[in-house]
Structure 1
Amino acid sequence: MDLSTLRNEIDRIDSQLVQLYEQRMEICSQVAEYKIENGKKVFDKTREEEKLARVRSLTHNDFNSQGVTELFEQIMAMSRKLQYQMLESHGRTGRLPFIPVENLDTKKARVVFQGAEGAYSQAAMMRFFGERIDSIHVDSFRDAMSAIEEGSAEFAVLPIENSTAGIVSEIYDLLVEFENYIVGEQILKIEHCLLGVPGTKISDIQTVYSHPQSLMQSSRFLGGHSWQQISMPNNAFAARKVAEDRLKTQAAIASEYAGKVYGLEVLQKPVNNVSNNSTRFIIVTNQKIFKKNAKKISICFEVPHESGSLYHMLSHFIYNHLNLTKIESRPIEGRTWEYRFFLDFEGNLEDSAVKNALRGLREEASNMKILGNY
């Protein structure tokens, strides 16, 4: 046979495959009607594994066995998505335990941030809530999460990502551990300064204190000097230490505002590696609420440690035309080489496409948690 004849034969077979696919999906819709009527779950993992084993047994070599497995995994995934869509059309959307609100109630709220006076978190807090907000500060991110969980504050402001240094991994882990939820975000431009006690010269400095991420964000500047670099829990703590010790051999990398708070002199600014350095802060509360005009959703989930599992989870976003804006992974404590995935995507919890995607994820992923809509 010539190439044209072979291609015509492929086209003929493909037409048959399309017809058979549509017939199969029609039967699947009838299966969905039955499940809806009888309250059965869409995802039946045992049934799907049996089906895959059966179609593999019909093939004649390993290559075709693998190909048929991938093909039928996709076909069954599309069948599930059709069934989730039918549940939505029948009004079986399920209730998400989040309450929509017009605005956040911040008039009498107390806000907690990590660090000391002059911290970037404090600046982000004032940018989001206003300068007159009632606030307290604590030593650690965990203390901030505990404060809103136990009710000593209504909101917490926490840094979650820097445009240069990447994510603040501890915050991701705490979002899983605590029943606290994201209700807002604030992006703050970061301009690091080298601060010292008045009269200090750069040639006097022997030791520099700052948060590990700030040291990383200023690595090019610091690399030009042989100073000892010491990590601190917060930039403002570093500025406060330098101010309290009153030693010209010490300097801090922190904000210019922190320098004013502690009476330090700006020795050089900016010392950032890049000029467009910004940090994204999240606003967290212990209430399951979201603003009605919220446009971003954060979730996390675990997947089975097997080939294709993450791909199948992500397909729910593709099928529902949802724009995935970020994905991160974090190791799962106590489970070597297993990971929890964190995703941000555009949408609102009241959108039907979002409900449809979350329903599929909740059924097929492990330990799926909505972290917030903001």
Structure 2
Amino acid sequence: MLDLNEIRNNIDKIDSQLVELFEERMKLTTEVAEYKIETGKKVLDPAREKAKLESVKKLVKNPDNVHAIDDLFAQIMANSRKNQYMLLEKMGQTLREPYEAIDEINKKDCKVVYQGVPGAYSYAAMINFFGKDVDNFNVPTWRECMEAVKQGKADYAVLPIENSNAGIVADVYDLLQEYNNYIIAETYVKIEHLLLGLPGTDLENVTAVYSHPQGLMQCDRFLDTHKDWQRISQANTALAAKMIFQEHNKTHVAIASKEAAELYGLDILKSGITDQEGNTTRFVIVTNTRKFVKNAQKMSIVFETANEAGTLYNLLSHIIYNGLNMNKIESRPIEGNVEGKRWNFRFFVDFTGNIDDPRVMNALRGIEEEAESIKLLGNY
């Protein structure tokens, strides 16, 4: 039996040869990329790669190594493609669409739309980002927010995209895919539910509590101490507060925000009623033009891929290969059960980077070449 050190020395020699051969191979793929630039041929050639994998597997002597060789050469070819995409970008063969880079968002001379009514958390997010004096209006649905921006009735829309407790707002993700509107900024609002009532309300006499279903759920522990209260769902928390104001019934209370209390002249009957501390909602600021703040450091994209083994990994590897940090990935089913795409998914991905960074350009180029579709949602 060989000594362990001797075995390791032999492995080191082989590894040295592998590195030398790999670099020689990558040099050849650079020449391939130069040829493709001249001829206009696509980098990814699935038929060629499939044939190549089949041919190298036939060279394997030990059947136990077939799968490993298949995986190894798949990764080698993937790295070759990434090298070619980098060269294409350097040579000016970019697929990136034009955009406008701005120094900062003009928060004064603009019009903003939000969903809900004054005092809703979307209203609070708008005030948090644009200030109290911003010209604004509200609509009943998130879709109407997107339509208002699309049609130029508003410069910006404020939309909730995820909550630290409840997760993503799926309908907003779907709207971002559907509309050609772009995320230009984000803001966070701490969700601090308060028990609100008319001045002089006595908790001993309360019979019903109004709120959004999420508001009721997120205050479940507190409400369990008042099991005789009827829980009545409303479209949003601010509307619940508004109903208390309009009904003028001191036996009814609402779970809503501090802003709602101020707007409708309600007393804060009890604070700290949320089950979990740190409940926060992330909101995105959306506009209808491809413009991004120059120092933006977050990219949001959505792409679709074939429902085949390894395809998602291969697409995400473009982000990893370029040294970018992926912050988030969410999957959403492709709606409508389109023939041939049943149970296929689209993937929403956030990662760090600026659209002018060559690493970001390379990653986007690779995903665009290999995904079934890709859309840039924003750089912010």
Q: Which residue number in structure 2 is paired with residue 255 of structure 1?
A: 257
CA 223–13 in structure 1, closer or farther in 2 if over 3 Å, else same: farther
Paired residue for 2:310?
A: 308
1:258–1:18 CA distance, 2 compared to 1 (3 A): same
Tell me the amino acid that sits aligned with residue 78 of structure 1.
N
Gaps of 5+ in 1: none
CA distance 1:231–1:44, change in 2 (3 Å): farther
**1:79 is matched with which residue?**
80
Aligned length: 374
Distance apart, 1:145 and its partner CA: 1.0
Q: Which residue of 2 aligns with 1:281?
A: 283
Does the aligned pair in 1 maintain the 2:108–2:130 contact within 8 Å? no
Name the SS of the counterpart of 1:273 in structure 2: coil
TM superposition shift of 1:236: 0.9
Q: Distance in 1 between matches of 2:225 and 2:347?
A: 38
Q: Distance in 2 between matches of 1:243 and 1:61?
A: 79
Written as runs of structure 1 = structure 2, the 5 A alignment for 1:231-270 is 231-270=233-272
Indicate the residue corresponding to 2:199 in structure 1: 198
Q: CA deviation at 1:106?
A: 4.0
Q: Cα–Cα, structure 1 residues 205 and 74, in superposed 2: closer, same or farther, change >3 Å?
A: farther
Moved more, 93-102 or 282-291: 93-102
- Measure, in 2, the Cα distance between the counterparts of 1:76 and 1:231: 55
Structure 2 residue aligned with 1:92: 93
Q: Give distance in 2, aligned partners of 1:232 and 1:45.
A: 53
Aligned partner of 1:351 in structure 2 is 357
SS of 2:136's equivalent in the other structure is strand
Q: Provide the rounded CA distance (Å) in 2 between the counterparts of 1:156 and 1:337.
A: 31
The answer to whether the 8 Å contact 1:165/1:217 transfers is: no
**Mean Cα deviation higher: 213-222 or 336-345:** 213-222
Larger deviation, residues 124-133 vs 226-235: 226-235
Q: Which amino acid aligns with 2:235?
A: P
Provide the TM-score with structure 1 as the length reference: 0.93
Residues 155 and 283 of structure 1 are in contact (CA less than 8 Å); yes or no, is this contact kept in structure 2? Answer: yes
Other structure's SS at 1:326 match: strand
CA distance in 2, matches of 1:194, 1:62: 69
Secondary structure of 1:127's counterpart equals helix
Q: Is contact 2:197-2:269 (8 Å) kept? A: yes
> Cα deviation per residue 1:59-85 (whole Å; 9 max; x = unaligned)?
356642221221111101100111111
**More deviation, 147-156/58-67:** 58-67
Q: Distance in 1 between matches of 2:56 and 2:225?
A: 64
User: Identity of paired residues, percent?
Assistant: 53
> 1:9: how far off?
3.6
Structure 2 runs not aligned, ≥5 long? none
- Find the aligned partners of 1:373 and 1:275 in 2 and give their Cα distance: 30
3-state SS of paired residue (1:322): coil
Partner-residue secondary structure (3-state), 2:356: coil
Structure 1 residues 309 and 95 mapped into 2: Cα distance closer, same or farther (>3 Å)? Answer: closer
